[in-house]
Amino acid sequence: DAKTTQPDSMESTEGETVHLPCSHATISGNEYIYWYRQVPLQGPEYVTHGLQQNTTNSMAFLAIASDRKSSTLILTHVSLRDAAVYHCILRTNSGGSNYKLTFGKGTLLTVTP
Amino acid sequence: NAGVIQTPRHKVTGKGQEATLWCEPISGHSAVFWYRQTIVQGLEFLTYFRNQAPIDDSGMPKERFSAQMPNQSHSTLKIQSTQPQDSAVYLCASSLEENTLYFGAGTRLSVL
C-alpha cells in the first residue's frame, strides 16, 4: 500500500459534520482509496472506498480530488459511536499482494456529547 | 449477515500451551485472511486462503504457527507452545475474491 498522510487527531461534537482529510500525492492510476475505522478491542471496520468519483453509502461520503492526490471522508451528524481511529489506505483491487493491508497511525476522531 | 465471526474473543494461555483460534467467514466469501495486531508492530499479515486452498503463508512464523481451512465455513489458526511474544489480537478477514476485506472482532490472545 502506498503512503498516505492523515492528521493525528480531530475533534467533533455530536450532530456535527466532520471532514477527515487524507493526502496521497503518489497514488497510482489503479489504486483505490480505502477507509477503515477501528475502535479499541474491535477489528477494523470497512467504511468506504473509491477510485475517482465521489462515493456515498450509509456510513460516509468520500470526496476525491480531481487529481486524486487527496481525499476527504465526510461524516454527517456524527454520534459517539463514530469515535474511532480512521485509516486511509491505498490498494489495488486485484493482483500482487493487494490483500496485505498495512495501516498507519490514522486519525483519532474524538466526539464529545 | 452476521459478519466475520471469531471465537473466542479472549483466550488466556500459559507459556508452552497450545492455542486454537476459530474464524467463520462471511457466507459466500471465497477468500479468508489471518492478521495479527499489536501496538508495537501494528497490523501484520499472516496467511491467506482462497476457496479453502492456502495461497500465501509468507507472514506466518515458520515454527509453531499453522492455519487450516477444512471447509468453506471455517478456518483455524493454531499456535503450539505459545510464548509471551505471541500475545496479540488475531484478526480474521474475508472477502469476495480479493476485493474489500471485512474483518472480525478479533481474538485477544494473552500468554502468561
Residue B25: the pLDDT is 97
Pull the grid cell for residue A41.
Answer: 478491542
Q: Is the pLDDT of residue A95 over 80?
A: no
Cβ–Cβ contact B69 with A under 8 A: no
Q: Does the structure show a pLDDT above 70 at A93?
A: yes
Look at residue B98 in the predicted model and tell me its pLDDT: 73
Residues of chain A with Cβ-Cβ distance to B93 below 8 Å are: 43
Determine phi and psi for A81, rounding to 5 degrees: -70, -15
Instruction: Please give the order of strands across the beta sheet that includes A55-56.
Output: A18-23, A70-75, A61-64, A55-56
Q: Is B42 on the interface with A (CB under 8 A)?
A: yes
Distance between CA B98 and CA A98 in Å, rounded? 8
Q: Do B42 and A103 touch (CB under 8 A)?
A: yes
DSSP secondary structure letters along A34-73: EEEEE-TTS--EEEEEESSS-EE-SS-EEEE-TTSSEEEE
Per-residue pLDDT tens for A46-83? 999 999 999 999 999 999 999 999 999 999 999 999 99
Instruction: Say whether residue B18 is in contact with chain A using an 8 A CB cutoff.
Output: no
Under 8 Å CB pairs connecting chains A and B tally to 48
Q: Which chain A residue has its CA at the smallest distance from B108's CA?
A: A41
Q: Is the pLDDT of residue A2 over 80?
A: no
Q: Which residues of B touch A103 (CB under 8 A)?
A: 42-43
pLDDT above 70 coverage of chain A, percent: 98
pLDDT tens digits along B20-61? 999 999 999 999 999 999 999 999 999 999 999 999 999 999
Burial class (CB in 10 A: 0-12, 13-18, 19+), B66: middle
Cβ distance B33 to A99 less than 8 Å, yes or no, reads yes
Q: What's the confidence (pLDDT) of residue A46? A: 96
Per-residue pLDDT of B55-98, as tens digits, reads 999 999 989 999 999 999 999 999 999 999 999 999 999 999 77
The beta-carbon neighbor of A46 closest among B45, B100, B106 is B100
Task: Please report, for residues B24, B50, B64, B66, the alpha-carbon distance to residue B70 in angstroms, rounded to integers and kept in the order given.
Answer: 11, 12, 19, 13
Per-residue pLDDT, A41: 86
- Residue B1, pLDDT > 80, answer no
Q: Which residues of A touch B48 (CB under 8 A)?
A: 99
Closest CA to B46 of B111, B110, B106: B106
Proportion of chain A above pLDDT 90, given as a percent: 82
Q: Which residue in the block uniquely carries the three cell numbers 502506498?
A: A2
For A44, the closest chain B residue by CA position comes to B103
